[in-house]
Amino acid sequence: MPLTDSPFRSLQQTEAEARFALLDVTSYDVRLDLDRGEETFDSVTTIRFDSRGGDTFLDLKPVSVRSIHLNGAPLSTDLLTGGRVPLTTQAGANEVVVDAVMRYRTDGEGLHRSVDPADGRHYVYGMSFMDAAPSIFACFDQPDLKAPYALHVRAPREWTVIGNAPGEQVEPGVWELPETRPLSTYFVTLVAGPYHVIRDEHDGIPLGLSSRVSIAKDLDADADELLTMTRQCFDEFHRLFDIRYPFGSYHQAFVPEFNAGAMENPGCVTFRDPLVFSSRVTRGQRIQRATTVAHEMAHQWFGNITTPRWWDDLWLNESFAEYMGNRVTADVTEFHDAWTHDSYARRQWGLIADQGPSTHPVAGNGAVDATAALQDFDGISYAKGSSVLKQVNATLGDEAFFAGVRDHFERAFYGNATMHDLFGCWERASGVDLSSFTRDWLRTAGPDTLTVDRAAGVLRRTPPLGRPAERTHTLHVATGRDGGWSTTPLTVDASEVPFDAGDAAVVVDPGLDTWALVLPDEVSVDGYVDLFPATTDEMLRSSMWSAVRSAFHNAAIAPARVLAVAEAALPSETNDDAVGYTLPWLIKKVAPLSDDPVAALGRIHAACRALLAASPAGSTVQLAGFQAAIGSATDGDLLEGWLAGRDLPPGIEPDLDLRWRVLVQLAAMGRQDPTSLQEHLDAEPTARSRVEHTRAMASLPTADAKAWAWQRFTGEVAVPNYELEAAGLGMWRPGQESLTAPYVERYFAELPGAPSVHSGWMLGDVTEAFFPITALDPSTVVRANEVIEADGLDLTIRRNLVDATDELRRRIAVRATYGA
């Protein structure tokens, strides 16, 4: 029967509990034929399981079904509805065999098939996370029904096949992958195609890297760094956990059009392949890649050996991997400044999510089904959760912390557990009662706000409105005057604690030892302007910027004052993360809300030029500054000169990345047209070029360009996920409001129907990317809320629309407060 006969139903937690109580899955045997065309593939699944006897269901999302057999007897294929096949099981051993035709996907989920525009080669990879596994093979799709998997794959003869276990080609085009350790369905992957493969070994563990052939030389150039980090991380994780990596080989596959940063599939981690650097990058981008590598390695223990029983504990996977990824990267790799990178790259992501209307507790989110769980896969789960676990470590100490973790793994080796189980292990290891900590930090949403009241001589702690908590913050406070800083430890264990700031500038929690919304007062912001040039402590600088960004997000500081801080800080900046994260925020958010956006861009551009003049030629800080100089430029002649290689700062070479940055900026100015952009794409038809060509086309200041972008929103023109997102982000450009005005109402009218065109991860991305963020009028918020409150709105759309609307509301508040 066709896939679209009825909508898919998201698995309910109650259904998962009932199925877990009924079944014990023994094994999966999956046969895939990937050599039958470019649209579909054959999937034959044999599942052996024990049952207490009774009714249940199998998850399956095919194009069509050839046959279903339960214990040797045929079942009608018409039983399939809503992605489920009802089964009446017998007590004892059972076997179900499903022969189905599945569709390759282009949305980064299921079995994704991609065509490399550079050479026309086809690549496939599996992404089974959340509820995508049934579009690859029939399964009982929930995290606590683990089982071993054996895969048998037929593929084109020139392809290589890698999965959770290493593949062996037994005859041309036929690959056998031996049975794995017990895995949850969402971990099962397959990476198949004419991939370029590098192999190595460390401490008895076979290592591998792979990428598309068109970027093989770039992977070769990065291989030593990647493999060195992998070896260092393995050694440190083995030391900390005292449990060897148990999944055999460890392959890291860089795959095209991947939605997330990476996915921790045991034995075969998949990464988005822009992490193979084809152009020159900053140190911050290398740190990001390093922490991602370490993050996914941490998952091999926390998540893969011991897996959450249900999706409401998925935060613990991510929080733990986030904490360990940063910690291990900083401790044992060349990227010792990983925590500073984290303060720029992740802190605001988590704080903004925690302040929004969709905030939720770190733990115990009440994820009634898989779809609801996915909505909380956000900065709270990653950044806030990591911060809280860092505090647990500081409270217990390393010895008790890791003793509890090891106990947790050993009690549920290849099994499943809950947050309650882990905290019980920590309490037994330490003798510390963590119940109040769990209540206040993990089960209460929202951040405390920390502010200095100079007149009262106190530092004030304000809990989130309507969510009372008694959180103790153990931190430091930095005070600055006369070009220098001093730091004092402070415990904030009441609503007010004595603190005499005098006339000094203050940075609360400069080491990011706690989780709180820190709002600076006017005296401190004035002090930052004076102190930034002489401040060399990188974490302190990042904390000043975090405070300024939080104040702006809450309309507590004027755009002009933010620009004054930037003008003071940037010429003395030596950390490219400060440049790479702060300047795009200034360009995209602060400047458009200024009294005179063009003049504001001019001030930012001048600060960039001052940074370029102060930075060593060829340094990564210079590179980050030049990238921002492109993004803030309003002089088309200057940009065209840079595109042609004229008047470039010494040390800057115009590679593919920089050329497309210039082209996108020129397109937004109307200094390119579709013909010229196509010529640039034809000259270098890489995957990166395709995405940036889309961004540039959507950025053109013409009605045709906006209609071109909108065709991708509606699905009239189908494009892969990266290009879809680029079309939305390019469409809504400040200064082009007269062109995008007709699409404000169209967005809200047509968004509820988006699930008929987009699904899963892409549905959230398209909701956010095409949101009319430049329509700075209260009526836009009113219209958005009408859609949010409408019955029947898809959960993914609602969540992303709530967050985007809150961001718009806050931008309008800045305008209203400061008179732009």
DSSP one-letter string for 642-670: HHTT-SPPTT----HHHHHHHHHHHHHHT
pTM exceeds 0.75? yes
Q: Residue 820: what pLDDT? A: 59
Q: Measuring CA to CA, which residue among 186, 436, 166, 181 is closest to residue 317?
A: 186
> Element (H or E) spanning 66, and its range?
strand 64-70
Angle among Cα 732, 735, 736 to the nearest 5 degrees reads 50
How distant, in Å, are the alpha carbons of 229, 427, 707 from that of 202? 11, 35, 53
**Marked catalytic residue, from 296, 538, 692, 725:** 296
Q: CATH classification of 3-194 is 2.60.40.1730, yes or no?
A: yes
pLDDT of residue 5: 39
Residue 734: φ, ψ to 5°? -55, 140
| Of the options 3.30.450.20, 3.40.1160.10, 1.10.390.10, 3.30.360.10, the CATH number for the domain spanning 214-247+256-447 | 1.10.390.10
Rg (CA), the chain: 27
242: left (phi over 0), alpha (psi -120 to 50) or beta: left
Residues 206 and 249: beta-carbon distance below 8 Å: yes
Q: Can you give the pLDDT at residue 86?
A: 98
Angle subtended by helix axes 576-585 and 283-299, to nearest 10: 100
Residue 382 DSSP label: I
Tokens of 268: 């075969």
Q: Which residue has the tokens 């004229």?
A: 646
Query: Which residues, including other chains, have CB under 8 Å from residue 184's CB and lie 6 or more apart?
Result: 142, 143, 144, 145, 146, 307
Q: Residues 121, 156: contact at Cβ < 8 Å?
A: no
* Tokens standing for residue 649: 């700062």
* Burial of 63 per CB tally in 10 Å (0-12, 13-18, 19+): middle
Provide the sign of the torsion angle of the four alpha carbons 443, 322, 657, 116, taken in this order.
negative
The number of beta carbons lying within 10 Å of the beta carbon of residue 456 is 11
Averages of pLDDT over runs of 10 residues in the chain (820 residues) are 52 94 98 97 98 98 98 97 97 98 95 97 96 96 97 97 93 96 97 98 98 98 98 98 97 96 97 97 98 98 94 86 98 97 97 95 73 79 95 96 97 95 97 94 95 96 90 97 93 96 96 96 96 96 98 97 97 96 97 96 97 96 97 97 95 96 98 98 96 98 98 96 97 97 98 93 95 98 98 93 98 90
DSSP assignment, residue 183? B
In angstroms, rounded to a whole number, what is the distance separating the alpha carbons of residues 723 and 729?
A: 10
Provide the sign of the torsion angle of the four alpha carbons 366, 367, 372, 375, taken in this order: positive
Q: Cα–Cα distances in Å, from 778 out to 806, 810, 815? A: 12, 11, 11
Query: Residues of 155-164 as b/e, b for ≥16 C-beta within 10 angstroms?
Result: beeebbbbbb
| Annotated catalytic residue 296 | yes
Q: Starting at the earlier edge strand, list the strands of the sheet with 168-171.
A: 73-75, 64-70, 92-103, 40-51, 23-33, 149-154, 174-177, 168-171
CB 781 within 8 A of CB 809: yes
Rounded Cα–Cα distance for residues 152 and 175 (Å): 6
Q: What one-letter code names the amino acid at 47?
A: I
In contact, 144 and 20? CB cutoff 8 Å: yes
Q: For the chain, give the number of residues.
A: 820
- The Cβ of residue 49 has, within 10 Å, a number of other Cβ atoms equal to 21
* CATH T-level topology, domain 448-514+516-557: Immunoglobulin-like (2.60.40)
- Helix 283-299, helix 338-345: angle, nearest 10: 100
**Residues 6+ positions from 20 with CB-CB distance below 8 Å:** 142, 144, 145
C-beta separation of 252 from 271 below 8 A? yes
| Residue 349: half-sphere exposure toward Cβ, Cα within 13 Å | 18
- Mind giving me the DSSP string for 803-817? HHHHHHHHHHHHHHH
Q: Which pLDDT belongs to residue 373?
A: 72
Neighbours of 334 (CB within 10 A): 14
Helix (H, G, I), strand (E, B) or coil at 521: coil
User: Which residues of the chain are in CATH 2.60.40.1730 domains?
Assistant: 3-194
pLDDT in tens, 481-514: 988 999 999 999 999 999 999 999 999 999 999 9
**Three-class secondary structure of residue 400 per DSSP:** helix
Strand ranges for 603-646 from DSSP E? none
Give the strand pairing for 496-498 and 458-462.
antiparallel
Burial 336-355 (b: 16+ CB within 10 A, else e): ebbbbbbbbbbbbebbbbbb
Which residue in the block uniquely carries the two structure tokens 């299921």? 110
With 0-12 CB in 10 A as exposed, 13-18 as middle and 19+ as buried, what is 791? exposed
For residue 407 the two structure tokens come to: 């106990």
CB 353, CB 379: distance < 8 Å? yes
